[in-house]
C-alpha cells in the first residue's frame, strides 16, 4: 500500500475509534468551535475535527517582466485533536497541498498545569511569528528569516511552562516525520522564553529564543535561501551549499497591542560553523510591522503567540465582518564577505488588507516590493501581488 494511503487509513481509523469510544459513554456533549467537538460529560475525553484550506493566487514580476501568474493550495489540511483521560492531549494533522500528503503536527502532550510535556512532531520553539499559526498571521508569508533559516517542525520532546504571563519551552529534536536524513540524523536543541505584561486595553510581548543544529546527516554542507513575499515566487537570495557541520540561531521578539492597534518586530542572527579553520559564516534578518483593525477588534494572544481575532459583527449574521490594514518592512541578509559567502540581501516593503468574514474565514490581499543587493540576482526588483481565501476549523 502506498505511503499516502497508509497515512489516510491510519487517520480514518484513529478518528473512527476515538468517536466510537466517546459514543459508548452514552453521555456526551457536542459543541461547535469552528467544527463539532464531542466530549464526554465529565470532560475526560474529547475529539474535534481540525483543518484549514488556503487557496492562493499570485502574480510576480521582476526586471525581466512577469515571472509568475498562477494559483496553488497553500495549505489543505485535515486532522483531529482531543483529550484522553483529561490530562493527555493529542493532535494529528495531514497536509494534502502540493499533490502529496505530509504530516504537519503529530503530538501527544501530558498537560499538568503549569508544566506540560509534548512528544511528537511540532515546531521547534523559536520566533513569535513562527509560533503563531498561519491561521492568525497578518500577512500571506511570515518574516523572511523564519523560512531562510529553516525554522520548522521536527520530531522531538519538549517541556513547556505557561503561567502568570510567562512562558518557557525547551526541547531536543531529531528527524522529521516526512522522511529524509538517513539512518544518522542531526540533533537540534531549542528554547524560547516570553513575558507579556498586561495593561488596560492591551499588552506588551517580549521574547527571545535560540536553536542549535548538528549537521550530522548530510555531506557537511548547508544552504540558506529565500523568496520575495509570495510562496509562488522564485528564490532571489541564495547562499548555495557551503561547508558547515552545525549552525546556531538566536532571535529576539517584541510586540504590543493596544485595542485595534498592533505592532510587531523580530530580529534573528544565524551563525554557521566553518570547517577546517574556515571562519564562521554569519547572517541576519528581521522585520517590523504595524497593523490596525478598522472595525475595533483586537488581535488575540495566548501562550506566547498571537491567536484568533474574534469578529464582532460577522458577515451573514447581519454584520460587515472585520477589516484590518497592515504594513511591514522586512530584511534578510545572506551575505558574509569575510566567510566568502555572497548570497545577497533582500529588502522588502509589504502592505496588506484583510477582510475577516467571521472568526474562521478571511480574504487576504498583499502587495510587496523587494530589492536585491548582491549575489547572483544583484539589482533585481521584484513586485508581488497575492490574494488568499482562507478558512479553518
Which stretch of 76-80, 111-115, 157-161 has the lowest confidence by average pLDDT?
111-115
CATH code of 198's domain: 2.40.160.10
Residue 1 included in any domain: no
pTM, whole model, 2 decimals?
0.90
Mean pLDDT of 329-351: 98
d(CA 99, CA 183) in angstroms, rounded, equals: 27
228 phi, psi to nearest 5 deg? -65, -175
Which stretch of 11-25, 188-202, 364-378 has the lowest confidence by average pLDDT?
11-25
Tell me what pLDDT residue 218 has: 65
Q: Compare 305 and 220 and report the one with higher pLDDT.
A: 305
Residues 6+ apart with CB under 8 A from 322: 293, 294, 295, 297, 309, 311, 312, 313, 355, 356
The pLDDT tens digits for 31-78 are 888 888 999 988 899 999 999 999 999 999 999 999 999 999 999 999
Over 70: is that where the pLDDT of 105 sits?
yes
Residue 13 included in any domain: no
Tell me what pLDDT residue 262 has: 98
State the chain's mean pLDDT as an integer: 92
d(CA 134, CA 393) in angstroms, rounded, equals: 13
* Surface-to-core class of residue 21, CB atoms within 10 Å of its CB (0-12 exposed, 13-18 middle, 19+ buried): middle
Mean pLDDT of 356-374: 98
Tell me what pLDDT residue 184 has: 84
Domain count, the chain: 1
Write the DSSP string, 231-257: TTS---EE---EE-SEEEEEEEEEEEE
Tell me what pLDDT residue 5 has: 52
Residue 349 burial (CB count, 10 A): 14
Residue 223 included in any domain: yes
Tell me what pLDDT residue 26 has: 56
Residue 41 included in any domain: no
Residue 27 included in any domain: no
Over 90: is that where the pLDDT of 16 sits?
no
Structural domain that includes position 57: 52-392
Residue 340 included in any domain: yes
CB 185 within 8 A of CB 213: no
Residue 274 included in any domain: yes
Mean pLDDT of 178-206: 90
Tell me what pLDDT residue 17 has: 47
Peptide bond into 114 cis (omega under 30): yes
Tell me what pLDDT residue 22 has: 42
Residue 360 included in any domain: yes
Grid coordinates standing for 235? Answer: 528564490
Write the DSSP string, 19-72: HHHHHHTS-EEEEESSSEEEEETTSS-EEEEEEEEEEEEEEEEETTEEEEEEEE
Amino acid at each position: 500500500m502506498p505511503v499516502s494511503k497508509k497515512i489516510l487509513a491510519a487517520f480514518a481509523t484513529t478518528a473512527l475509534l476515538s468517536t466510537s469510544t466517546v459514543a459508548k459513554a452514552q453521555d456526551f456533549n457536542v459543541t461547535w468551535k469552528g467544527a463539532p467537538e464531542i466530549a464526554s460529560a465529565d470532560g475526560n475525553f474529547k475529539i474535534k475535527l481540525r483543518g484549514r484550506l488556503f487557496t492562493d493566487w499570485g502574480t510576480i514580476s521582476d526586471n525581466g517582466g512577469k515571472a509568475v501568474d498562477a494559483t496553488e493550495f497553500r495549505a489543505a489540511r485535515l486532522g483531529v485533536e482531543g483529550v484522553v483521560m483529561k490530562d493527555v492531549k493529542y493532535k494529528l494533522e495531514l497536509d494534502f497541498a502540493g499533490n502529496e500528503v505530509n504530516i504537519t503536527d503529530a503530538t501527544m502532550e501530558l498537560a499538568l498545569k503549569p508544566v506540560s510535556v509534548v512528544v511528537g512532531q511540532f515546531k521547534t520553539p523559536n520566533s513569535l511569528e513562527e509560533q503563531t499559526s498561519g491561521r492568525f498571521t497578518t500577512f500571506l508569508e511570515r518574516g523572511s528569516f523564519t523560512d531562510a533559516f529553516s525554522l520548522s517542525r521536527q520530531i522531538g520532546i519538549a517541556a513547556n511552562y505557561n503561567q502568570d504571563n510567562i512562558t518557557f519551552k525547551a526541547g531536543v529534536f531529531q528527524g522529521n516525520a516526512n522522511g529524509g536524513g538517513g539512518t544518522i540524523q542531526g540533533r537540534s536543541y531549542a528554547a524560547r522564553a516570553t513575558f507579556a505584561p498586561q495593561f488596560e486595553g492591551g499588552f506588551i510581548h517580549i521574547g527571545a529564543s535560540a536553536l542549535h543544529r548538528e549537521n550530522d546527516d548530510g555531506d557537511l554542507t548547508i544552504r540558506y535561501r529565500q523568496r520575495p513575499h509570495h510562496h509562488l515566487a522564485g528564490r532571489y537570495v541564495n547562499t548555495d551549499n557551503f561547508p558547515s557541520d552545525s549552525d546556531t540561531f538566536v532571535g529576539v521578539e517584541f510586540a504590543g497591542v493596544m485595542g485595534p492597534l498592533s505592532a510587531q518586530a523580530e530580529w534573528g542572527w544565524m551563525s554557521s560553523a566553518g570547517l577546517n579553520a574556515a571562519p564562521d559564516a554569519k547572517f541576519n534578518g528581521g522585520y517590523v510591522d504595524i497593523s490596525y483593525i478598522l472595525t475595533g477588534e483586537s488581535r488575540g494572544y495566548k501562550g506566547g503567540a498571537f491567536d484568533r481575532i474574534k469578529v464582532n459583527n460577522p458577515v451573514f449574521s447581519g454584520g460587515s465582518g472585520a477589516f484590518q490594514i497592515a504594513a511591514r518592512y522586512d530584511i534578510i541578509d545572506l551575505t558574509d564577505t569575510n566567510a566568502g559567502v555572497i548570497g545577497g540581501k533582500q529588502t522588502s516593503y509589504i502592505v496588506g488588507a484583510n477582510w475577516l468574514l467571521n472568526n474562521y474565514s478571511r480574504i487576504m490581499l498583499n502587495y510587496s516590493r523587494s530589492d536585491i543587493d548582491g549575489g547572483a540576482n544583484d539589482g533585481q526588483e521584484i513586485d508581488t501581488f497575492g490574494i488568499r481565501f482562507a478558512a479553518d476549523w
